[in-house]
A = this chain, B = another copy of it.
Amino acid sequence: MRDVAAAANVDISTVSKVLSGGNISVRPETRARIEQTVEALGYRPNASARGLRLSRTGTFGMLVPDFTNPVYAQIIRGAVREAETRGRVMLLAELDPGHSPEVYLRLVHERRIDGLLVATARSHSPVLSLLDRDEVPHVFINRRGAARSLSVISDDEEGAAVGTRALIQAGHRRLGLLNGPVDIDTAQRRRAGFERELQAASLPPATVVSRPYSARGGYDAARELLAQHCTRPTGLLVATLTMAIGALAAFAEAGIDIPRDLSVVGFDDGDLASFAHPPLTCVAMPHDQMGAMAVNLLERVVAGEPARSVVVPTPPRLIPRASVAAPPPSRSID
């Protein structure tokens, strides 16, 4: 900045005022001269110096449990893009319950960030207690936090309801749900939506199997379902895309034809869904938008503006593909 000031023949404080303030009294020609010099020299203010002076780094942090999970990848993309359009950069770290919170300390206690996005799903993560002790501005993503905490979620309950209705409308009466672990917030909400629709259609309680949100989890859940010798469902809702991929593999292995023998509705649309075998009917959840809204909300929080938890307004959409059909005419058992 000193170089810019020298080249433009003004004091560095004037340069600073032109660059940051904008509406202070500077002669138009001086302002133009400074802006020109800044441009010519390709000058950009040093982030550390600004951060030190302003106690504001222009950085947000984001904690996710798993980079390789496509759902989080989508959320990250939405958040990072929104952060960039707002002139910020994003520090990312993987943090699941097993990890030490060292990376949290590095972000928060060393004052590297202005606010934190927390997408770790488990309800007993060790950072949760740190979060409210430290009073860091933060927003939960895809997970409701404690009463005082803000969160951005998509309407998982409605998403599950949409998927369930699709099965019911196709004629299914015996439904099943392959769900995530019970201590994950989205799993709870998806189950609620599923059961809401069952009741609305006066259907009996359905089989629910809980397994981790992973392909392996879906595979195991599907095998568990097949092993149960009571009346098998003809329509199945699966709580995530990766689980659905695993479940389809288990069904293929067991010689069960989708959708002839069993209809399947998955979650979280994507390329993988359309190239699955068979192409998977899905409920598309607006994950990237959720990430973007979380950044917006966090921005309000750090600005001290009033802010409230939100549900992403874009409604979940059913993407019909080949994995849903009418139930088999003869009931498979009894």
Q: Which residues of A contact B (CB under 8 A)?
A: 42, 44-52, 57, 59, 67-68, 70, 73-74, 76-77, 80-81, 84, 87, 89-94, 102-103, 105-107, 109-112, 214-216, 218-219, 242, 245-246, 248-249, 252, 270-272, 274-277, 279
Contacts and interface: CB of A to CB of B under 8 A. Distances in A.
A111 B46 contact: yes
Contacts of A246: 271, 275
A46 B77 contact: no
Instruction: Please provide the 7 A-B residue pairs with the shortest distance between their CB atoms, ordered closest to farther.
Output: A48-B51, A249-B275, A44-B109, A215-B271, A48-B52, A68-B73, A277-B277
A270 B51 CA distance: 41
Nearest to A273: B215
Contacts of A47: 48, 51, 57, 110-112
Contacts of A110: 44-47
Nearest to A54: B48
A94 B67 contact: no
Contacts of A111: 46-48
Contact of A89 (B107, B109, B270): B107
Given A90-B91, A90-B92, 8 more contacts: A46-B52, A48-B57, A59-B91, A67-B67, A84-B102, A87-B106, A216-B275, A245-B271
B94 A77 contact: yes
Contacts of A105: 44
